[in-house]
Structure 1
Amino acid sequence: MIHQLKKLGILLGLLGCMNHSILAATSDDRSQNSDYDLDEKTLHSQEVPVDEIQRFVQIYALIKDNYVRETSDDELFEQAIKGLVSGLDRYSRYLTPTEYHQLIQYTDGDVATVDFDLSLDRAQRQWYIRGVRPNSDSAKLGIHNGMPVYKLDNTELKDLNPNQVKNILLGAVGTVINVQVAPVGQPITVVRNKKIEVEIATTLLKNQVLVIKVPVFQQETASEIKSILEQYANSKVKAVLFDLSNNPGGLLSAAVETADLFLNNGIIVTTRSRSEGSQTFQALPSKEFEGLKLGILINSRSASAAEVFTAALKEHQRAWVLGEKSYGKGVVQKLFPLPNGAAVQMTVSHYFTPNGNMIDGRGIQPDQSMPRLANIKDNTYLENVADALLKH
C-alpha cells in the first residue's frame, strides 16, 4: 500500500507541473452523446492545485491504513469523485457507467418514478415498501419489501393520501429522491428510472373555467395546448387555468414555446452561464389568444421549466398565479461523458425571469396564496382555485 501511495504522490506531483483538460460534450438541455473527439472537445486548461492534492493524498493514506474495513483504491476514488461532484449543488452528480447508460435511453421531458411501490397500513398510519424485484436497482441499495418509509424528500408521509404520495415519487427521469426508511438517520438516495407515460388532460368546470393539466413540458406541449384552445374557441369558456402542480419541468424549449403563445413581446427567460455566456429567449408578436383570461396553479413541487413558464406570464402580467411557492429549481444541466463509460451530470447555467430574478433556490411566489389542505378533495380544491381566478 505504501508503494501505491508513493506512486500516486509521484504522479500527482508531476501533474502539478503541467496542465490538465476538462472534457465535455454538450447539447440543448443535457448531452446524450458519449462519442466525442478528445481534441475537438477540449474546453480549457487550468493548473492543478498542488497543496490541495497533497492534502488529499494524506487523507487517502489515513483511510487506507486506519478505516475499520479494508477498501480498494477503485472504491476510494469512486467515492472521492462522487463527493466532488455532488458537493457542487443539489442537482450535480457523478453517474456510473450503468447509471449513465440507463439515463441516455430516455428523452428530456420524460417523467419517471422509482422501481418499487408504496402501500399504506391505515391502522398504523404507516407506509411500507412493496414490489421490490430481485436484482433491481433499489434492491442493490439494500431496499427490500416490508421496509417502512417515514419521509420522501424530507416530507412526512403519515398524513398524506395515496395520490399525494404518488406525486412525490414522480419526477423528471434520472432525478433522485431521498427515501427515509428509519425515524432517524441518513436516507437512501434512489434514482427515478421507471418511465411513466403522461398526457395533457382537460376539464371544463361548472363555472366555465377550462383546466388544462400539464404534467411536464415535452416537445409537443405548445402545439397540443394550442390545439386544445382552438377546440374551445367557440365555447363560453370564461378563463383557462393551467394546472402545473407537481410538474417537475421538462424541456426548456417547450416552456418557452408555450409561453410564447400568450405573449406579444418581451423576454421569456434568460440563461446565464460562466462557460457558455448568456442566452435570452424573446416572445414573438402574436395576438391569437390575447383576450383569454389566464391563471396558473403551482405548488411546492412545480419546478424548472414549469417555473420558467409561470414567471414569464406572471411578470408580464399575463396570468394570475395561485397556489403555493414553487420548488426553486432554475438550472440547466448537461452530461459530460467520460472515457470509462461514466458521466458527470453538472449544472452549467441558471434561469433568470424577465425581470432578472433568479429562480434557483428562490422559486416563484404566487399572486394569491392557496395552499392545498390534506383533507380536501382534488375536484373541490380546483373549483376553489378556479373561483378565485374568476374573482381576480
Structure 2
Amino acid sequence: MLHLRRFAQPSTLALAVMLGLHGSAWAQEPPADTEPTSIEAQDPARKAPLPLDELRTFVEVLDRIKAAYVEPVDDKTLLENAIKGMLSNLDPHSAYLEPEAFADLQESTSGEFGGLGIEVGIEDGFIKVVSPIDDTPASKAGIEAGDLIVKIDGKPTKGMSMMDAVNLMRGKPGTDISLSLVREGGKPFDVKLTRAVIKVNSVKSQMLEPGYGYLRVTQFQMNTGEEVGKALAALRKNNGNKLNGLVLDLRNNPGGVLQAAVEVSDHFLTKGLIVYTKGRIANSELRFNADPADASEGVPLVVLINGGSASASEIVAGALQDQKRGVVMGTDSFGKGSVQTVLPLNNDRALKLTTALYFTPKGRSIQAQGIEPDIEVARAKLTREQAAEGIREADLAGHLGNGNGGPDRPSSTQIVSDSERPQDDDFQLGQALNLLKGLNLTRGQ
C-alpha cells in the first residue's frame, strides 16, 4: 500500500521534458508531524473492486503478443511498455521515468546539464519548442519558441514520443546534430547545432538607464529566489540606493521550482496570497502567502511575458497581476497550470503524475489559458533610421546663442552612446521602459 508520506515527494512545475532537464521542479516535503494516510483513505473511489474483465483482457493480450509476435519479447519489456502507455495517455506531463530519466530529474535543478538548451512539448504529433534557454546552442542558433521540430538528424518526429525525441537530441558535448524546423507555417529549414554542457545562470541584471533596472529570470532553480534578492540589492546600490522603476523579464522562462517562484513573488509583495494548489489528495492542497518584508522596496514594476513563459513564471506573473503590484506586458503566456508529483518506485524508477492545478490569488486557473497581459505588446523587429544628412541651426555661422545659457548642439556633436543598451534592439523591453518613465511622470517624479 502506498502512503501519503511517500506519495508527497517534491512537486514539479516545469513545463515539459527539456533536453537534459526532465521537468525539474521540487517543492516542499509534507510537515514532519503529518500522519501517514493511505491514498485509499483519501479517495474512497480507490476502494472499488479490481476490473477483472479488463485485467483478463490485459493478460490475454500479453500472452498473444508473447506467443505470436514476429520476434520474441520478454515480459519486462512488455510490462514497462504497458506502464508507459498508461501514463502517456493521461496528459502531456505525466510520465514513467526510467533510471536515467529519474536521475536527470533529480539533478536538473542544479543549473548544469548536457544538451541543446531547449524546452520542448508536443503539438499535433510534432515536437514543439516551448522556449530556448538563454546563452545555449539553441538560442545562439536562432531557435524560437513555437518552432516545430519536424526532423532530428533526418528522422521524422511525427508521432514520436517526447522521451524518444529527447533521447535523440541528447548526446556527448561537442557532437553535432541537425534539426529541421518549421516556423509559423513556413517552409522547413535546417539548423545545425553542437551539443554542449548547459550551464544556466537563472538571474541576470543590469541598469537600462540611470534609475531604471532590468532583472531577467531565465528559469526557476533552487537558488533563484536568493539570487533575485541579491540582484535587487545590487541594482539599488549601483543607483544611489533608489530605483525609479524595474523591468522583470520572464519571457521564454519555461518554469522550474515552485518554491523559487513563491520566493521571487514574495520579493515584490508584502501581504496576501501568492498561489494555491487544488487536487484530489489532501497533501496536494497548498497555500503560499507573502511575508511583510519587501526586497523591492515598492519600486514601480513592469513584468514581461510571452508564449514561452510557462508554469512557475506564470505563477509569478499571475500573483503580481492579481495583487496589482506591477503591470504585465507582452503576449499571452503558455498556459501550463498543473502540478506534477514524483512518486519513486523500485529499481530507481519513478512516476511523474499530474496531481493538482494551481491558481492565482484571485482564483484563476492558468491551465490551457495562460496569463493575459495588462498591455499587449507583440514582438517586433526594429530598424534604425539613418541620421539625416544636413545642418542644424547651431551649424550656421553667426547663429544666436541659447537664451538660457545652454550649450550649442551642432550636428557634428550629436551624442552617441557606445554602451550596449538591450532596449535599443528589443521592442517589448523598450516599451516596458517607456511605461515606467510614464508612470514616474504621472507620479510627479
TM-score (norm 1): 0.70
Unmatched runs of 5 consecutive residues or more in structure 1: 1-20, 34-39, 119-150, 170-176
Q: 1:189 aligns with which of 165, 174, 182?
A: 165
* CA deviations over 1:252-290 (Å, ceiling 9, x no partner): 112112212222221110011211252211122345645
The CA distance in 1 between the partners of 2:10 and 2:382, in whole Å, is 41
Q: Output aligned runs, 1:234-313, within 5 Å.
A: 234=240, 237-277=243-283, 278-286=285-293, 289=296, 291-313=298-320
In the alignment, which residue of structure 1 is the partner of 2:8?
26
2:143 aligned counterpart, secondary structure: helix
The CA distance in 1 between the partners of 2:368 and 2:224, in whole Å, is 26
In the alignment, which residue of structure 1 is the partner of 2:366?
359
Q: Output aligned runs, 1:52-91, within 5 Å.
A: 52-91=54-93
The CA distance in 2 between the partners of 1:156 and 1:249, in whole Å, is 10
Contact 1:178–1:190 (8 Å) recurs in 2: no
Cα deviation, residue 302, structure 1? 1.3
Contact 1:32–1:335 (8 Å) recurs in 2: no
Contact 2:83–2:96 (8 Å) recurs in 1: yes
In the alignment, which residue of structure 2 is the partner of 1:147?
none
* CA deviations over 1:140-183 (Å, ceiling 9, x no partner): xxxxxxxxxxx7516899xx9745428789xxxxxxx9764356
> Quick one: which amino acid aligns to residue 243 of structure 1?
D
Cα deviation, residue 368, structure 1? 1.5
The CA distance in 1 between the partners of 2:311 and 2:228, in whole Å, is 19
- Asked if 1:216 corresponds to 2:216, the answer is no
Cα deviation, residue 357, structure 1? 1.0
The CA distance in 2 between the partners of 1:154 and 1:335, in whole Å, is 24
- Bigger Cα displacement from structure 2, 302-311 vs 40-49: 40-49
In the alignment, which residue of structure 2 is the partner of 1:96?
98
Contact 1:270–1:351 (8 Å) recurs in 2: yes
The CA distance in 1 between the partners of 2:27 and 2:202, in whole Å, is 25
Contact 2:149–2:157 (8 Å) recurs in 1: no
The CA distance in 2 between the partners of 1:374 and 1:63, in whole Å, is 56
1:255–1:334 Cα change, 3 Å: same
Contact 1:210–1:240 (8 Å) recurs in 2: yes
1:351 aligned counterpart, secondary structure: strand
2:209 aligned counterpart, secondary structure: coil
- Asked if 1:206 corresponds to 2:209, the answer is yes
> Quick one: which amino acid aligns to residue 128 of structure 2?
D
Contact 1:244–1:297 (8 Å) recurs in 2: yes
The CA distance in 1 between the partners of 2:249 and 2:52, in whole Å, is 53
The CA distance in 1 between the partners of 2:114 and 2:146, in whole Å, is 10
1:195–1:344 Cα change, 3 Å: farther
In the alignment, which residue of structure 2 is the partner of 1:174?
none
1:358 aligned counterpart, secondary structure: coil
The CA distance in 2 between the partners of 1:67 and 1:369, in whole Å, is 56
1:198 aligned counterpart, secondary structure: coil
The CA distance in 2 between the partners of 1:101 and 1:273, in whole Å, is 26
1:184–1:90 Cα change, 3 Å: closer
1:289–1:115 Cα change, 3 Å: closer
Of structures 1 and 2, the larger Rg is shown by: 2
The CA distance in 2 between the partners of 1:243 and 1:220, in whole Å, is 18
Cα deviation, residue 70, structure 1? 3.8
1:291–1:334 Cα change, 3 Å: closer
> Quick one: which amino acid aligns to residue 244 of structure 1?
L
1:59 aligned counterpart, secondary structure: helix
Contact 2:117–2:198 (8 Å) recurs in 1: no
1:164–1:22 Cα change, 3 Å: farther
TM-score (norm 2): 0.63
Q: Output aligned runs, 1:127-206, within 5 Å.
A: 152-153=127-128, 162=140, 164-165=142-143, 180-181=151-152, 182=155, 185-187=158-160, 188-190=164-166, 195-206=198-209
* CA deviations over 1:38-67 (Å, ceiling 9, x no partner): xx7854363322122123234334434554
The CA distance in 2 between the partners of 1:250 and 1:185, in whole Å, is 27
Q: 1:386 aligns with which of 424, 429, 433?
A: 433
Let me know the Cα RMSD of the aligned residues: 3.7
1:351–1:112 Cα change, 3 Å: farther
The CA distance in 1 between the partners of 2:251 and 2:298, in whole Å, is 25
